[in-house]
Structure 1
């Protein structure tokens, strides 16, 4: 089977590699242009480009898919299928209709739940216990096409967007191989989504990381996990941004507690607790003060001479 593969971030790499290992022919890999990165603003290749070039595959990096030259180039390959994994662009109608078997997307949720750009993060933030991956036929909508196959994945208590993404990308790669093989054999047909059950997972913005200390400790802990590696849950401390990389609801309230003010700190045996909504407490475990490296909370408390009663978020 001849395939055009479209993808950009690390999440898409396992699918590309798994397709090659399974014997599919990848005639072209389409990915985003290189982008400036880091303090030096040197242009950095997307992970999919790096993986494709390592495998000796041709790479195409159009700025826009609507360019007539892009359409002309892709049409020359006469693909059996176009596989899309976290490409980052809406697939235009001409591209949807180009392949014999259609354009197939791997989405990191159990559709129709969590349609959108950040399904893994929002599943964690919303407290889901189970998520998964879905293969679907792309249509003109945003993650609204007919479902081909699904695979459920349990969310672990310690999962962050990073760790869950790694598991979903590996499971999704196998699911895509199965989907294409069964499509070719005529064993599966797309099933319409129940749009009444749809929920959204919009792209994350930097301001989504700002902690609202009036939320419960459980809600904040879920945001800490869901917002890694970006934008990272954060608050302010002595006028500087304080990123919180790891935290969990306190199993029992700290002995010395003052829950009257949300965001009030409680230091107990070098452990850092913060008062949250509904008289709950968050134990902060790893932080990063603006301009400094990540530290265990114990080292942070001792380094800044933090005493109980200082308030975060001011």
Structure 2
């Protein structure tokens, strides 16, 4: 097929690599404009742009797609058979949805209709799901509401973080995309409508999502949210009027600690949660200070059992 590929972060690179390896022609790659990053805030190209240029592909980085006459003219001239959309980060306008004969095919990191939205992998882990996966779907004007094409499932280990799942799911998605394109061309894929009554949302993460709130959440809930919100926004609470970052956690069985308090026990730093269950704080960082093991922090900062957090 002749394709246009839309993608931005590292998650999308395996999909672009896979369609090229499968022999498809990628006539144009659309990706987000370069963004300032690092201490010097120098402009940094997206992972997809870097890979595309290495492959000698044409790249465009429009600020907007809606009412973009130049991009619309360029895509109409290309006349792609399909447009592949993988973590692009922009809404696809109607003219673009209607352009290719096989539609706009999206690789979405969840088992739809669960976890529609910007952060499906993170929220699946944060909510303690035992399974996630990838769904290829035809985009429409709704938020991840289009017809499903293929689904691939992946178990979530009980200690896995979303950061660990991203590369696995990106490879699963790449394989599913290639299979989806082949099935569409052969006419062997059956479109399946989503059951909107089973839909859940996975909104864009905010810094506040990282607030552990140990007085109101139990240990398992906090642990799952910490796993899900890696590498950002992670998990934190407040200690002595400063942000107290919980960099590494583990669940502690059969140990009770008062909700919203710290306890030092056998050289370990524990945090009590809403139901009295506890987390061991393996690595922590007080705002403005270096990160360190929890036990060392308890000694260096003279933490007393019963000191409150939150």
Which TM-score band applies after superposition, normalised by the shorter structure?
over 0.9
Q: Which residue of 1 aligns with 2:265?
A: 268
Task: Please report how far the alpha carbon of residue 161 of structure 1 lies from its aligned counterpart in structure 2 after TM superposition.
Answer: 1.3
Structure 2 residue 114 is matched with structure 1 residue 113: yes
Matching residue of 2:212: 211
Residue 304 of structure 1 is aligned with which of 285, 298, 301?
301
- Equivalent position of 2:46 in the other structure: 46
Corresponding residue of 1:4 = 4
Describe the superposition over 1:275-309 as per-residue Cα deviations: whole angstroms up to 9, x where unpaired.
Answer: 11112111122222223443332332233232322
Residue of structure 2 equivalent to 1:286? 283
Distance 2:86 2:32 in 1: 12
Task: Give the match for residue 223 of structure 2.
Answer: 221
The answer on whether the counterparts of 2:260 and 2:274 sit within 8 Å (CA) in structure 1 is no
TM superposition shift of 1:130: 0.6
Paired with 1:284 and 1:219, the residues of 2 have a C-alpha distance of 15
Deviations, residues 78-129 of structure 1 (Å, cap 9, x unaligned): 1111000011111111111111211100000000000000111111111110
Q: Report 1:166-205 matches (<5 A).
A: 166-205=167-206
| Structure 1 residue aligned with 2:238 | 236
Q: 2:78 & 2:289 partners in 1: Cα distance?
A: 50
SS in 1 for 2:188: coil
- Bigger shift: 87-96 or 278-287? 278-287
In structure 1, the partner of 2:14 is 14
The residue that corresponds to 1:142 in the other structure is 143
What is the TM-score when the length of structure 1 is the normalising length? 0.95
The runs of at least 4 consecutive aligned structure 1 residues that moved more than 6 Å come to: none
Instruction: Write the distance in 2 (CA, Å) between the matches of 1:208 and 1:228.
Output: 11
Matched residues, number? 308
**Displacement after TM superposition at 1:30 (Å):** 0.3
Deviates more, 1:131-140 or 1:299-308: 299-308
Superposed, 1:15-94 pairs within 5 Å as: 15-66=15-66, 67-94=68-95
Deviation, 1:204, is 0.7
Q: Give, in angstroms, the shift of residue 39 of structure 1.
A: 2.6
| Structure 2 counterpart SS, 1:17 | helix
Q: Decide whether the 8 Å contact of 1:82 with 1:104 is kept in 2.
A: yes
Q: 2:144, 2:154 → 1: CA distance?
A: 19
> SS state of the match for residue 127, structure 1?
coil
Structure 2 unaligned blocks of 5 or more: none
Deviations 1:249-289 (A, max 9, x none): 211206xx4x1xx2210111221111111121111222222
Could you tell me which runs of 5 or more consecutive residues in structure 1 were left unpaired when the two chains were aligned.
Answer: none
Contact 2:12 2:87 in 1 (8 A): yes
Cα RMSD of the aligned pairs, angstroms, is: 1.3
- Verify: 1:161 aligned to 2:162, yes or no: yes
Task: From the superposition, tell whether residues 303 and 20 of structure 1 become closer, same or farther in structure 2 (CA, over 3 Å).
Answer: farther
